[in-house]
């Protein structure tokens, strides 16, 4: 794979995110075991993942209907009447849920030894992911592992992402991902609250209900 450079014309990221999407992420970031629950990671312990295939990016928030919370996602940032009137209310601040930029992708979860979905809407992680993408030593996140760590500082939760040196994808991981694709897995199902592992399903079987921490 050619070396990545910081110049936009030579970024080797098109298979993961388009250059415009990478720039948008940078700008906006100045219950189901199939999902990585970042808020549930053991504190202070780095968890390792490897992105598999192309990611998707968009905007998400949480709404509340009949005392039940569910995510809503858009490909483009909603405005005006597109914004739901039943946004979930944050119990601590009393304010409506934010609409956040997110990046989501299939990942190999080394701790669970399986493929999961990693959805990132925490600004700190998005910033560090963007920094790795444009770094000549790293580039496309499909080419290296990332480590995410959760830490509590006073009343705040902080996340960090560290890119590991690029290395070839293991045969076991590659075969597992090929098998997943053969079954028709599709991340685009997230925009319809579908199950990316079973895109024909009309609804996911209970997603991880965490809200992103900044």
pLDDT score for 90: 86
Share of the chain above pLDDT 70, in %: 80
Calculate mean pLDDT across residues 16-34: 64
Tokens of 151: 């830490």
pLDDT score for 99: 96
Write down the domain spans for the chain. Answer: 8-192
Tokens of 3: 């070396």
pLDDT score for 32: 54
Helices (H) and strands (E) in the chain, counts: 3, 6
Tokens of 188: 């685009």
Distances (CA, A) of 138 to 35, 142, 149, 163: 25, 10, 19, 8
Confidence (pTM): 0.79
Among the ranges given (12-16, 34-38, 45-49), the one the predictor scored with the smallest mean pLDDT: 12-16
Cβ 107 vs Cβ 115: under 8 Å:
yes
- CATH T-level topology, domain 8-192: Replication Fork Single-Stranded DNA Binding Protein (3.90.198)
Cβ 120 vs Cβ 102: under 8 Å:
yes
pLDDT score for 3: 40
Cβ 142 vs Cβ 40: under 8 Å:
no
Backbone angles phi, psi at 131, to 5 degrees: -60, -40
Listed in sequence order, the residues at least 6 apart from 31 whose beta carbon sits closer than 8 Å to its beta carbon are: 206, 207, 208, 209
Distance CA 121, CA 119 (A): 7
Tokens of 25: 């992420």
pLDDT score for 17: 72
Tell which wins on pLDDT, 174 or 28.
174
40 backbone φψ class: left, alpha, beta (φ>0; ψ -120 to 50): alpha
Distance CA 17, CA 96 (A): 30
Q: How many CB atoms lie within 10 A of CB 111?
A: 13
Cβ 49 vs Cβ 119: under 8 Å:
no
């Amino acid at each position: 794979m050619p070396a990545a450079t910081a110049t936009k014309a030579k970024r080797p990221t098109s298979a993961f995110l388009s250059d415009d999407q990478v720039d948008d992420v940078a700008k906006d970031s100045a219950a189901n075991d199939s999902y990585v629950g970042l808020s549930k990671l053991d504190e202070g312990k780095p968890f390792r993942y490897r992105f598999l295939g192309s990611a998707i990016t968009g905007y998400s928030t949480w709404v509340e209907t009949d005392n039940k919370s569910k995510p809503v996602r858009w490909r483009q940032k909603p405005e005006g009447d597109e914004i739901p009137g039943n946004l979930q209310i944050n119990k601590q601040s009393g304010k409506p849920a934010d609409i956040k930029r997110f990046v989501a992708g299939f990942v190999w979860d080394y701790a669970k030894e399986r493929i999961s979905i990693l959805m990132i809407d925490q600004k700190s992680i998005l910033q560090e992911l963007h920094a790795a993408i444009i770094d000549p030593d790293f580039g496309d996140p499909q080419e290296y592992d990332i480590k995410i760590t959760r830490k509590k500082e006073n009343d705040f939760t902080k996340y960090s992402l560290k890119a590991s040196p690029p290395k070839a994808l293991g045969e076991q991981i590659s075969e597992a991902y090929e098998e997943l694709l053969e079954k028709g897995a599709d991340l685009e199902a997230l925009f319809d609250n579908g199950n990316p592992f079973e895109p024909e399903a009309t609804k996911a079987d209970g997603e991880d209900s965490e809200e992103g921490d900044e």
